[in-house]
Structure 1
Amino acid sequence: MFDFIRTHQRLMLLVLVILIFPSFALVGISGYTNYVSGNKDLVKIGDASVTLEDFNAAQRNQMQQLQANMGAAFDPSLLDNSQARENLLESLIDRGVVIETATKAHFSVSDNVLRRAIAAIPELQVNGQFSPERYDEVLASMGISSRDFEQSQRAELALQRVLGPIGFTAGVPASVVTGLRQALTEQRTLRLKVYEANAYTDQVKVSDADVKDWYSKNEERLRVPEHVRAQYLVLDEAAAMKALPAPTDAEMQAYYDQNKSRYVLPGRVLLNHILIKASADASAQEREAARAKAQSLAEKVAADKSSFADVAKAESQDIGTAKDGGRLGWITRGILPTELETAIFALKQGDVSGVVEGPDGFHVFMASEVEPERGETFEQAKAKVEAEIRRQLGAERFAEMASSLRDLAYDNATTLEPAAQALGLDIRTATGIAQDRLLPEQQVQGQAAAAGPDATILEDARVRRALFSPALMAEKQNSGVIEITPDTLVVVRVDEVIPSSIQPLDQVDDVIREALVQEQALALARKAGEADLATYRAADGNAVPEGFGSSLTVSRVSPQNVNAQALEAAFRAPTDTLPAYTGVEGQGGYVVVRLEGVTPGNDGGQALANLPQEVNNLWGRAEERAVLKAMRTTLGVEVLPDAQAVIQGEAEQQ
């Protein structure tokens, strides 16, 4: 049943499975097809093997997926180290063990199980239900036939049968969970007395001989990794605007006029009206009657302006506003027909207009409030106008310069001079750029990148990745244009490669001296703390000794900002006799813990509601690891000498 793992090549092209099943995220599909390939073997797994080709393919897949997930923050050094390579090889071995076991045992799954599994894939569902249309659409977009996809899923489900039942059925006794709940929620009341190492530095004397002795014994700790001195060009908004000519007064006036609404709020009127309707096709007699009625109402409200709202409610034929006393709200120019606005904006606050003819009839207006045009005149807004014009011109100039920078950096592959001269940019230089970080200033000679104004740019993973690429390291070519932000571009080149070296004593004397001071100060803090601890333990009585802080009640799930070392010491302390004392050394000094009370734990309530599932999951994973270890022994897994070269990064990439 499972022989297709070795024989069906098309089944291995399962790009979709990479997207759906996390198990492929690190290993990749290539493992299926390459276990019987003829390239260099790294690990023997029964009748199969993990090859160098398998490893290289999985590493590329791992790199691509991490880069896709992290985007600009991706740093190749996360994967380019021995620990990451060893972890990847281990995952390949585990995958191979599972495949080999499933193959030998002829594991398979039924059609019903396969159908249920496919229907449960979220990518193939619409509104939580399996969609045949969505299924066809996804497979078509990936270029995979339904037969190949279903066979691949059957294979994956068969592999899951190897370890799946172990994790699904793993569980710990209820008494264990109860014990964990009580341990996590048990409370201890304590006080702390802290002996800060910094308080003892004045008592420390470090001689030149001490420094030399430490240096001779710890040279490798002072090794500076290989790094580069780089030349680079930065194109940003400031560079783009630097050469822009100042806009003329005429240009600024034209811009102000075109964008006046950005600087000036138009005048407006809080308006009420009475409307007597007269349609455009009404007879002359009907229109005259409507005008006469409007005139009568205009005279009435002009004589008593306070009656306007009541008259509007009773007489206005604008149903929408009549019930509100004719209220139209705030009106600015450009809303109503011109003939109406002319009359409206001629009114002063409290004025009532005469009869104003409009498209829909005859109006009588009253201006409840009038706000004149307000804002900045051209002279007042001139500085803003100039800045906005320059900003717009700068954006256009930036786009032009960016295009030119790409061309110039490419056309002059080993120098930045032509691009700098053509674009008016300064060639900047910084050193101390290692593959995984910017080195501190004291470790480099020259302008340290870490201490320079462009540290944020140069520590970007994309910049370091470009500098340590083969073309830039060996040929000292220009990089492509690297977009740090949408308005900050950089082109870099390696000016010099500085090999790894151990710093001379005279450069690190101060660093060593400070380290020795801190080390000896910590020893003095520990000595003082341990002496007091012995005194406290020997004393009788419950009085709180001098120097202890206020009482704290802590638990393992609520540490109250007590550091991990002190918290662990507090819960390890015996509770037979209280108060009890214990001490622990931390990074910054020594802490004496006075334990004053213990409150038994409880079930933890809602905060620990998921504890049984979490513990079972952890236990399940532990059992899976144990079974995998046993399966490795059964299959006779043999890690070959070439595997160590791969882990150390010494194997030739294919």
Structure 2
Amino acid sequence: MLQALREKTSGWIAVAIVILLAIPFAFFGMEQYLFQGGGNHVARVESAPSWWRTAPDWWPVRKLAWVHEDVSPEDFRFAFEQERQRQREEQGDAFDGLAFESADNRRQVLEQLIDQAVLRLAARNRGIAVGDAQVAAEIQQIPSFQVEGRFDPQRYQLALQSQNPPMTPRQFDERVREGMQQSLLPTHVAQSAFVTPAQIDRLMVLLGERRDVSFAVLPPMTDEAPVSDADLQAWYQANQADYRAPEMVTVEYIVLDGSGLQDEVVDEAQLRAHYEKESARYSEPDRRLISHILIEVPADADASARRAAEEKAKDLARQAQQGADFAALAREHSEDPGSRDAGGDLDWVEPGTMGDAFDAALAQMQPGDVSTARTEFGWHVLQLRELQAGTQTPFEEVREQLQRELGEGARERGFSELVNRVVDRAYRNPTSLAPAAEEAGLQVQKAGPFPRGGAPGVLAHPAVQRMAFSPAMVEDGTVSDPVETGPEQSVMLRVIEHSPERALPLEAVRDRVIAAVRADRARKANTAAAEAMVGRVADGATLAEVAAERDLPVQDVPGVPRGTSVPHPTAVEAYFRAPVPAEGAVSPGHVALEDGSVVVYAVSAVTPGNPAEASEQERQMLIQQLTMLAGGEAAQTLVRTLRARMKVTVNEARL
């Protein structure tokens, strides 16, 4: 049988069938195997190229012709850390680092990065570029890089080094360039939004609308009738989540406080050494007013193209040195779109802003000089128009500040050393807090049992609460790491007792259940009474007549505007939801308030707003607000539309 099978599968027909079956696997199965599994990216956005916008989404075509933008693991980590820092600053002590690490948060950050990649790809396909001067100007305007309103190169460098992970100026330049490039399309779309006069008038009619209202308030009812066991049990079963004992912990703890440590006395030599080390902080760098002409040199340019660019730059420099108008030369020859139309003007530049090559060339120039410099973008023809020399603050003027800084630094180091010694003792004795307390010269304190949010004193700090109720602390019973609760203050604790959240038996909450049943019956009775009053008014009786039967006063309020509280904002919202009454009729209704009372109302007239009564300032403010809303929606629609036309692939394993 095997011999027969071999003979039947070795003919030309069998070979043809195998080839036909191999084709789809080659084009589709191998794509998944070769290109998706090994991609070094968290997400990839692919689009048809600008020269073939209708290119089909077939693997060979997409692989050879489509262009793409990747979200790298580094991009994702950077964005995730930036979002972490933003939420930590926004939420303060309430920030929960563990909850932030959730998959939903990671995916939300990734979705934002994908939208940014979509915009970058769309900009690239449309030939949108951002010049060096625009990038430099944008960086200099970032407040965190400024000192007293001016760009500070040292603060710029320190800020980049403090990033997680650290960044070089060139990396940050490219990040800013990408941000500006991806923002151009949605920004211009948003700026194109507008609202018509008819829309403004219609909105003013609605916003300025007033309603004539009569209302009566049914006060909260009380219910003292007995509650049957059946009603008691039914309410308890339906609302068990309301009758649970919270999770509780009892802890022992110590508070490490460095505020009592003495500042170290600093001598003259230390002060002067610190002044020399930090001299850049007390100096203003030189500022140069420059213009430039950029002759681009692509990264893949050959030797002849590089030579041609160099010769052109040097020829333009010679022309400028011989008296040619530099601004005219820049407008004619510069390939920097950000400064070309301004005659090459880069405004005032400080060292460290434009890169080492710029700084080296400018350092050799005097006002009026023209020179050339080579950077990664190409050849630059530089013109130094004006020079402002830097200044240095004398040592004596900052002596007190230096003394304070060094003294505080010594105290902080002393506190840090204390914490390190205490933590070391705790690590050697993880199941007891006494050795750590002995090292710090403190007494172990005890608190509890207490629930989440119910701790006393320093233990109420959100970070301490998270630590006290963390599963690891509850299960292990070990000493915690120091939890920072303020400047030079930390808490170390150990959970000694724990009781989980549990359902309370009916007998333990019997009185609470009885009160809840009675409150519910009272609310329902009040609502039924209000509905009966509304029904009478709808049948033709006046609200005054119906209210008089219950000895309730009625208030008539003509011209109630939106946003007031007559007698409560919730009631006013209900007035404006009521239908416009017919001529000679009213629109009755009722609305329950949080305190258990019910407002029964009747809308008797509706007066539309008059756009002619609005001031020009009010109209312009409304136009601005509506335009911003419309622009924001248009920008979001643009991103959604662009993304729908592209192919997005997410590598879940790298999240």
TM-score, normalisation: structure 2: 0.54
Shift in CA distance, 563/155, structure 1 to aligned 2, threshold 3 Å: same
Equivalent residue number for residue 623 of structure 1: 634
User: What is the root-mean-square deviation of aligned Cα atoms in Å?
Assistant: 4.6
Give the partner amino acid of 1:173.
T
2:601 pairs with 593, 596, 602, which one? 593
User: Residue 178 of structure 1 corresponds to which residue in structure 2?
Assistant: 201
> 1:572 pairs with 555, 577, 586, which one?
577
- What is the identity, as a one-letter code, of the residue corresponding to 2:634? E
Q: CA deviation at 1:626?
A: 2.4
Is 1:414 matched up with 2:431? yes
1:199 aligns with 2:221: yes
- Alpha carbons 1:581, 1:593 under 8 Å: kept: yes
User: Quick one: which amino acid aligns to residue 448 of structure 2?
Assistant: A
Residues 209 and 609, structure 2, Cα contact 8 Å, conserved in 1: yes
Percent of aligned positions with the same letter in both sequences?
A: 25
Task: Decide which structure has the larger Cα Rg and report it.
Answer: 1
Displacement of 1:85 in angstroms is 5.5
Aligned mates of 1:88, 1:236 — CA distance in 2: 37
CA shift for structure 1 position 463: 0.5
Give runs of aligned pairs for residues 75-474 of structure 1, distance below 5 A.
75-76=96-97, 79=100, 84=105, 87-110=108-131, 113-114=134-135, 117-118=138-139, 120-122=141-143, 134=152, 138-139=156-157, 142=160, 147-196=170-219, 198-202=220-224, 205-219=226-240, 227=247, 229-233=249-253, 412-418=429-435, 425=443, 427-433=445-451, 437-438=452-453, 450=454, 454-468=455-469, 472-474=473-475
Q: After superposing the two structures, state which structure 1 stretch, 570-579 or 73-82, moved more.
A: 73-82
Distance 2:168 2:40 in 1: 33
Aligned residues: 427
Aligned to 1:613: 624
- Deviation at residue 71 of structure 1 after TM alignment: 3.8
1:409 Cα shift? Answer: 5.0
What displacement does 1:485 show? 6.0
CA drift at 1:582: 1.9
Whole-angstrom CA distance in 1 between matches of 2:507 and 2:643: 53
CA contact (8 A) 1:552 1:560 kept: no
CA distance in 2, matches of 1:82, 1:200: 48
Aligned partner letter, 1:572: R
Q: Which amino acid aligns with 2:540?
A: A
Answer whether contact 1:201 1:518 (CA < 8 A) is retained. Answer: yes
Q: Does structure 1 retain, via aligned residues, the 8 Å contact 2:253–2:494? A: no
CA contact (8 A) 1:235 1:425 kept: no
> How far is the alpha carbon of 1:175 from its aligned partner?
1.9
Q: 613-622 or 502-511, which moves further after superposition? A: 502-511
CA offsets 1:618-650 (integer angstroms, 9 cap, x no match):
22222222233223322244678x5xxxxxxxx
- Aligned AA (1:623): A
Amino acid at match of 2:574: A
Local SS of the residue matching 1:601: coil
The 1:458/1:521 distance shift into structure 2, 3 A limit, reads farther
SS at match of 1:202: coil
Which amino acid is the alignment partner of residue 585 of structure 1?
Answer: A
| Contact kept in structure 2, 1:409 and 1:491, CA below 8 Å | no
CA distance change for structure 1 residues 195 and 90 in 2, over 3 Å: closer, same or farther? Answer: farther
**Cross-structure match for 2:31:** none
Task: Give, in angstroms, the shift of residue 510 of structure 1.
Answer: 4.3
Secondary structure of the corresponding residue to residue 129 of structure 2: coil
- Amino acid aligned to 1:159: Q
Cα 1:177–1:159 shift into 2, 3 Å: same
Amino acid at match of 2:523: L
1:54-69 correspondence to structure 2 within 5 Å? 58-69=79-90
Structure 2 residue 493 is matched with structure 1 residue 492: yes
Q: 2:588 aligns with which of 574, 581, 586?
A: 581
1:612 Cα deviation from its structure 2 partner: 1.8
Cα separation, 2, equivalents of 1:60 and 1:112: 29
Contact 2:562 2:573 in 1 (8 A): no
Query: Offset of 1:529 from its aligned partner?
Result: 0.4
Q: What is the identity, as a one-letter code, of the residue corresponding to 2:179?
A: E
Gaps of 5+ in 1: 1-34, 241-398, 439-449, 643-650
C-alpha deviations, 1:551-586, integer Å up to 9, x for none? Answer: 446766541364443222201222434554222234
Aligned counterpart, 1:526: 527
2: CA distance, partners of 1:200 / 1:598: 36
Contact 1:230 1:496 (C-alpha < 8 Å) held by counterparts: yes
Contact 2:209 2:562 in 1 (8 A): no
